[in-house]
Structure 1
């Protein structure tokens, strides 16, 4: 939907092709490789100078640009070329982080009202040059759409990463504060290059000990490393900390002693980390403690912490809540608990809402809370790590998913993107040398940062930017790889959760298909809760004749969602012979979708095989290996799922579709204790 906004300069930039490197690469440099340009000799690049500031951040910006230019345009002495001037200028009308880049009489000027803006301007210029644009044609005037653009790390102090598929945590708590791994600087640099300005360094399932003095000292060392790159550090706080480590008998947010404890703890944090960003809190969800343990509301809990922090930072309160004792449809619970509290939260509280009402599924409708709390600061939480989309094994470019929800109209005054004040992403980084487990998962980190900066960016532009900087500027390569990326998430939806199916993944690891699981203690932990298939039909009725979850949306949006066949089984329970608008029955369409997904992955693998001349051998082989895994596992998803639907419906597959090679009990017997991210 956004192709009309793509820049015409792409075509010109694509004509500048860097020579293919014969050397092996390991992916560590991400999209900041600055591969030498084939047309380097045609450009005269002059010196880089810094004016108006001499802060650590400004010096980083200058040095970063000098190194990039030397790599992009090798062999130049810097004399008599187009100079680049970085200048900090007082401009009260420029937002924090805003910058301008413009050629002016033989000089490229990067101007900003803050040092962080200069840094962002430098990275923006490098992004354009990395795609092949001539330096004297780059003209940019940008400001971030949101003041807070942050990563949430689900990292534990022992190094294990919950839902992490790229090795262990990059935060080495054991050796902090005496040693900060140099990798943290490279991590901060990568984040700054895409405009990320906040990092929560520990798991939302928080340990109270993270607020003890020895951990505050460790966090301070991390904060000192992140700060020059324009990044503030945040901590996930366990709500019961006053009781767990503070010696109190209660964590009641209205208890004066509890309030005093949190105020003292906030003062301690700000004494150590003056620019501490604030707390992220998961409360009364999945067994975590919270204010409801004491008969208080989410607003009571959040406002207590907000008062402790005051004007120094923010409290980010997650709206991902569901409880075993609550028999309401799980997808309705967050709206039911939070929407009545609109206007009750303090001004420095941000309610953080997942993109959909369930849990980061390959496809689900946008969360009904977006647009429904106009008097409350809201953040959208996206998942960069692909917990439900094949971990790091499957190629699934998430920008189209992110774009789908950002562009969704709430029916309550604009789009989802316009209804939020901050963007958060669950990070996918780890100790693997290439940071994200597979090379293409780097693109999701990149896409998150770019859309958090500007939610209007088209997925195609983001894919092209990333691919050109990460792999090759060659036009033939880009013409093949960009469509591959753009279509990849739709393929995952087809072979995992077609037609509005959701949460049919295996228990615990959420990796492979397990729509048959029905024996877990809590009903909403069982995949059968989300499809309810039997001989009569399949799907969940969320209309007024069922759970009425549709009523949580604005009426015109509810009508659109109810008619969306891609979400058919999310909102409706229908018989197997239900006829779609195409004329096909549901039972005819379901295997067609599964087969389409498998075929799409085979096509991705075939396309990638043709791109070997444009990519270094090591990374090309690594991607090819993962696509081989994805092809096999897409087939497994298709076969296991259809075997189950055949069994519960009592139907044979329609003509033209191959039978699963194994009986259902074979698929049900598979176990994967080695699956990462448990």
Structure 2
């Protein structure tokens, strides 16, 4: 079918003549590699002789083009088009209400939700046909990508019976991209949004970005940094945003913007941004209407307020509830939503930063308007290599909470370390909150099933790791984190092992001699980085500002909670943050079953030990060794695991492209060097308090502590502009 407008024709022509290829990583998991198994190809050809695509608006051309591209690359075929339904072995794609009766009556689609899809083998005129259907255009696209995924993995498609509904409504990427194209916490080059050349110049990357997201079910993108710039809401920039929205629409992706709370002052000429002021409300109402006049399917606003110095309702003696509901009220007539971030902490917190979000939001449970989602980080501090799940999850049964994961590796070695983040995501999602008894997982909180909130919005966000690097994510394996986030956003109960297996097969090869060892190191990689960075519950001991490398000694920053010493509290007696009754009592924010488990040092899981307890250096852990020895053992284990990963990677060289091999091999060498740096710097520093010898299992530091303290990285990538 032909595109219905010139713009979409431009989109498809640009894609068709793209010069990028699979070997440099640009094609991500959509390279559609040629299927070498002739038996499989012959089977597919016999089952796919014809295609019928019933009208799906602008998405029709996208589906048609994706099929042509994939089948040509994988099997060297182009499907013919015959709408008679008499040929048999056809691929039939259409919305539920557009399919002929002789097809729809055989599908039994009572459980199909919006954006869900079904792929069924249906008998028509005594011949088998494959039907992809959904209530929505975007659902048809998701179903098409799923079908092509089956072909890529060479699955049997003779008798298909797939019904797949997204478990979460709002599945978005948060871009921390600035208007000058720098990316806060971005390690893969500059922002892909070229605001200077928009709206006229449509970069091929915008289209390929939309394809990639649609292929894994992501349906929204927040274009701008949470530390927002009010200029994005001016007419000059809104026409640029409209151009991107037009690109993304056929792929089922809505555009969202970060809203700077002080915008009525900065670009509106008002003297206040008080959310209860009539003039302020009217300003936001007018601005919102202006946006929707340009972008009818605009998704809404993401707001970071009263956190890290950002303006917010508390500047005017108001609450987060006041601010969020004001924003929601102006968006509601347009069916827009507001995602209000719960990442807040005051400028002077005399107790425990980890407690503040719970204290400020939980008392207002049930009072937020229905188009408000409270966006909560997975842990109560800040995307650490390991944190216990945020205590807000499950504590607000009458308010939808939206998970916020960080796909970009701000605290996990940037884009130089191989760390498979879906393993971290899985750990958080499957954590039991006990808020409704055993089995009350975080996944059930965010998908609405725990509190049976079927009528409430659900959402999940991932802070993007995407940039202008040719392979999008800097590290080739960073693509697996983007892919994995999308898969878990669709279904938060997926296992990380399944995600790793899928991604490896789609990206590299089906050869089990490659898949088995590499999947193994991917699944171990998150625990590995915890070992060599923040073992046994240590957290936020990164060097200041850039968060590149260790800095447990930092103590000179103006706010106490900006300093690593605030979090580890090392002294001659021990190390760790006491969050029990004798300390900040943050454990009380968890359900009683968990609070009791965490507050007792004997029952607290060792991976959270120093998160909840200040522990003596000579305290004996379950293995009979002291805390001090175990710290050294964990740090050394992390280093050893990186070495083992390098050995494994060397063995798989024959199975993949040489460029792919060498690119990852070089980054693994960086990872090993930096793992050793973490071990030596942290253990040298903590030894000044413990006064104990390093355990025999640990290799001694190569330098003295003064050397590690002297290291300075003023131009590390991803630094927040004008930090502190």
Q: TM-score, normalised by structure 2?
A: 0.89
1:95 is matched with which residue: 106, 110, 113? 113
Q: Give the drift of 1:49.
A: 2.4
Are residue 289 (structure 1) and residue 311 (structure 2) matched? yes
Are residue 609 (structure 1) and residue 650 (structure 2) matched? yes
Q: Give the drift of 1:247.
A: 0.7
Q: Give the drift of 1:92.
A: 7.6
Are the aligned partners of 2:324 and 2:340 in contact in 1 as well (CA < 8 Å)?
yes
Q: Give the drift of 1:456.
A: 1.0
Are residue 175 (structure 1) and residue 216 (structure 2) matched? no
Within-5 A mapping of 1:112-123: 112-123=134-145
Give CA deviations for 1:112-168 in whole Å, capped at 9, x if unaligned: 111111100011111222122133254321000011000000000110000000000
Are residue 401 (structure 1) and residue 427 (structure 2) matched? no
2:27 is matched with which residue: 5, 26, 29? 29
Residue 664 of structure 1: aligned partner: 705
Residue 161 of structure 1: aligned partner: 183
Q: Give the drift of 1:52.
A: 3.4
Residue 509 of structure 1: aligned partner: 546
1:569 is matched with which residue: 610, 619, 624? 610
Residue 3 of structure 1: aligned partner: none
2:534 is matched with which residue: 476, 482, 497? 497
1:66 is matched with which residue: 65, 68, 87? 68
2:166 is matched with which residue: 126, 135, 144? 144
Q: 1:404 to 1:459 in 2, by over 3 A?
A: same
**CA-atom RMSD in angstroms:** 1.5
Are residue 544 (structure 1) and residue 581 (structure 2) matched? yes
Residue 12 of structure 1: aligned partner: none
List 4+ stretches of structure 1 deviating above 6 A: 76-81
Per mean C-alpha deviation after superposition, the further-off stretch among 559-568 and 268-277 is 559-568
Per mean C-alpha deviation after superposition, the further-off stretch among 269-278 and 641-650 is 641-650
Q: Distance in 2 between matches of 1:467 and 1:560?
A: 38
Residue 210 of structure 1: aligned partner: 232
Give CA deviations for 1:628-670 in whole Å, capped at 9, x if unaligned: 1101111111111111111222221122322101000000001
Q: Give the drift of 1:360.
A: 0.1
Within-5 A mapping of 1:312-351: 312-351=335-374
Residue 497 of structure 2: aligned partner: 460
Question: Which structure has the higher relative contact order (CA within 8 Å, separation 6+)?
Answer: 1
Are the aligned partners of 2:51 and 2:79 in contact in 1 as well (CA < 8 Å)?
no
Q: Give the drift of 1:341.
A: 1.1
1:390 is matched with which residue: 413, 416, 419? 413
Residue 452 of structure 2: aligned partner: none
Q: 1:269 to 1:505 in 2, by over 3 A?
A: same
Q: Give the drift of 1:672.
A: 1.4
User: Which ranges in structure 1 are unaligned for 5 or more consecutive residues?
Assistant: 1-22
2:91 is matched with which residue: 73, 84, 88? 84
Q: Distance in 2 between matches of 1:635 and 1:48?
A: 58
Q: Distance in 1 between matches of 2:651 and 2:117?
A: 40
Q: 1:229 to 1:677 in 2, by over 3 A?
A: same
Residue 42 of structure 1: aligned partner: 42
Q: Distance in 1 between matches of 2:552 and 2:240?
A: 43
Per mean C-alpha deviation after superposition, the further-off stretch among 425-434 and 63-72 is 63-72
Are the aligned partners of 1:50 and 1:62 in contact in 2 as well (CA < 8 Å)?
no
Are the aligned partners of 1:50 and 1:58 in contact in 2 as well (CA < 8 Å)?
no
Q: 1:631 aligns to what SS in structure 2?
A: helix
Are residue 525 (structure 1) and residue 562 (structure 2) matched? yes
Q: Distance in 1 between matches of 2:546 and 2:477?
A: 21
Are the aligned partners of 1:530 and 1:540 in contact in 2 as well (CA < 8 Å)?
yes
Q: 2:416 aligns to what SS in structure 1?
A: coil
Q: 2:575 aligns to what SS in structure 1?
A: coil
1:440 is matched with which residue: 477, 480, 489? 477
Are residue 598 (structure 1) and residue 639 (structure 2) matched? yes
Q: TM-score, normalised by structure 1?
A: 0.95
Residue 128 of structure 2: aligned partner: 106
Q: Distance in 2 between matches of 1:573 and 1:108?
A: 61
Within-5 A mapping of 1:229-244: 229-244=251-266
Q: Distance in 1 between matches of 2:44 and 2:468?
A: 39
User: Which ranges in structure 2 are unaligned for 5 or more consecutive residues?
Assistant: 1-20, 82-86, 98-108, 447-457, 720-724
Q: Distance in 1 between matches of 2:276 and 2:226?
A: 23
Within-5 A mapping of 1:634-645: 634-645=675-686
Are residue 57 (structure 1) and residue 59 (structure 2) matched? yes
Give CA deviations for 1:339-392 in whole Å, capped at 9, x if unaligned: 111112111111000000000000000000001111112100000000000000
Give CA deviations for 1:472-502 in whole Å, capped at 9, x if unaligned: 1111111111111100010000000000000
Are the aligned partners of 2:434 and 2:591 in contact in 1 as well (CA < 8 Å)?
yes
Are residue 418 (structure 1) and residue 441 (structure 2) matched? no
Within-5 A mapping of 1:369-388: 369-388=392-411
Q: 2:26 aligns to what SS in structure 1?
A: coil
Are residue 557 (structure 1) and residue 594 (structure 2) matched? yes
Are the aligned partners of 1:371 and 1:410 in contact in 2 as well (CA < 8 Å)?
yes
Q: Distance in 2 between matches of 1:288 and 1:77?
A: 55
The number of aligned residues is: 656
Are residue 676 (structure 1) and residue 693 (structure 2) matched? no
Are the aligned partners of 1:25 and 1:616 in contact in 2 as well (CA < 8 Å)?
yes
Are the aligned partners of 1:44 and 1:82 in contact in 2 as well (CA < 8 Å)?
no
Q: 1:410 to 1:123 in 2, by over 3 A?
A: same
Per mean C-alpha deviation after superposition, the further-off stretch among 575-584 and 365-374 is 575-584
Are the aligned partners of 2:340 and 2:375 in contact in 1 as well (CA < 8 Å)?
yes
